[in-house]
Amino acid sequence: MDPKDPKNAPSRRLVVNGLGTGLMAAPGLLASSGPALAQQADSPAPTASPPTGGRTLQNPVTEYPKPPFPRQTQEWPGLASKMNPRPDHGETSYKGSGRLAGRRALVTGGDSGIGRAAVIAYAREGADVAINYLPAEESDAREVVDLIRAEGRKAVAIPGDLRDEAFCRRLVADAVAQLGGLDILVNNAARQTAQPSIEAITTEQFDATLKTNLYAMFWITKAAVPHLPSGATIINTASVVAYDPPEALLDYSTTKAGIVAFTKSLAKQLAPKGIRVNAVAPGPFWTPLQPSGGQMPDKLPQFGADSPIGRPGQPVELAPVYVMLASRESSYATGGVFGSTGGNVGP
């Protein structure tokens, strides 16, 4: 199928339905976006939702695991392979259709969580992908590399600590060299450490959070911009906590609010060059951030229970958002923050 053929253009009904629960689009986006393609092929059967229009509806409340979860902790940075239940990144459920054929992406934090879901989707949509991760996450990263290569796409693994400015510059240079260029940048890696009060946050923790979440985004983006052609896109992972910061995530919330401002300002700078910049603001998502210090251990079993949907999101549920923002179908969207919050306060 030729995606440029007008006969294959999605209808407005498909576009609106495909964006998914909780996704809030910037003005003008719905009319130009394509359908979200994360088809949950092996999800549980729907409950009390009859077939409609030739499709079977899925109830988002019961589609994925709900709290309570087993009590669990991991050392930072955590591994998806050790989580119970294990997160769904789309390993068996995401079905691509060539929407990013020939594209070249760099995704930080691509070994697990939201970054891993984006990487799997990008590869299945036809992109070559470079991923960054910490050396301690090598086992998760190897799984992702295998998944990329299984799609016949090029996989580039570049481990390293984003708190180091020199490494961030080298990361971009290596990705460009090994991919043969770069036209999708996803700044996704994050540090999150819950603390009961400001008095418990050390200078070392505050510094690590800001360098991972804000400084690295600045360093990597600055290094990448000279390599990005017209039509390229930058996607930053913000959070619902930028809009409704919890008391236990003071430093993390500060950085996520900064990402929103950074995104909006940079979008204005780069728009004349034809480079779009947007952010995604997830709500509570089931990723290794949570058991490796991102939540208080006694709070983790009920993680996501207070969202209107009653559960945390699974990373695969965000994959279509990252695909949409990288694709030509969102060509008029820049400077936006796209929420997938499970009904919580967000953009």
Spatial neighbors of 200 by CB under 8 A, at least 6 apart, are none
Q: Pairing mode, if any, of strands 184-187 and 155-159?
A: unpaired
Q: How many CA atoms lie within 13 A of 183 on its CB side?
A: 18
Decide: 263 and 279 in contact? Cβ < 8 Å.
Answer: yes
For the chain, the maximum distance between any two Cα atoms, rounded to a whole number of angstroms, is 60
Cα–Cα distance between 184 and 54 in angstroms, integer?
Answer: 35
DSSP 120-169: HHHHHTT-EEEEEE-GGGHHHHHHHHHHHHHTT--EEEEE--TT-HHHHH
| Helix, strand, or coil (residue 264) | helix
Residue 198: its H or E element? none
List 133, 243, 252, 322, catalytic entry:
252
- Does residue 243 carry a catalytic annotation? no
State the catalytic residues.
252
